[in-house]
Amino acid sequence: MIALTDINSASVRLRRSILSVPAGNTRALEKVHGLGCDAVIFDLEDSVAPEMKAEARNNLRRLFKESPLRNRETVIRINPLDTPFGRADMDLVIKISPDVVLVPKVERVSEVQAVADILSEAGAPDDLAIWAMIETPKGVLNAALIAGADERLGCFVVGLNDLRKETDVLPQPGRAYLVPWLMQIVLAGRAQGIDVVDSVFNDFRDAEAFDAECAQGRAMGFSGKMLIHPAQIEPANRHFGPDPRAVEEAEAIIAAFAEPEARHLNVINLDGKMVERLHLVEAEKLVARVRAIAERKKTP
pLDDT at residue 153 is higher than 90: yes
What band does 8 get if pLDDT is binned at 50, 70 and 90? low
User: What pLDDT score was predicted for residue 299?
Assistant: 62
pLDDT at residue 218 is higher than 50: yes
Least confident of 42-51, 118-127, 223-232, 243-252: 243-252
Interval 230-264: pLDDT, tens = 999 999 999 999 988 989 989 999 998 988 888 88
pLDDT at residue 36 is higher than 80: yes
Q: How many CB atoms lie within 10 A of CB 228?
A: 16
CATH 3.20.20.60 is the classification of domain 17-240: yes
For residues 155 and 195, is the Cβ–Cβ distance under 8 A?
A: yes
Mean predicted confidence (pLDDT) in 267-271: 88
Give the DSSP H or E segment for 89. Answer: helix 86-96
In 3D space, the residue among 169, 240, 229 whose CA is nearest the CA of residue 203 turns out to be 229
What band does 45 get if pLDDT is binned at 50, 70 and 90? very high
pLDDT at residue 297 is higher than 80: no
Calculate the alpha carbon distances from 4 to 9, 75, 247 in Å. 9, 30, 13
Tell me the average pLDDT of the chain.
93
> Higher confidence at residue 65 or residue 4?
65
Rounded CA gap, 282 and 131, in Å? 24
Mean predicted confidence (pLDDT) in 65-85: 94
The full set of domain ranges for the chain reads 17-240, 244-298
In 3D space, the residue among 105, 131, 133, 136 whose CA is nearest the CA of residue 119 turns out to be 131
* pTM assigned to the model: 0.90
Helix (H, G, I), strand (E, B) or coil at 99: coil
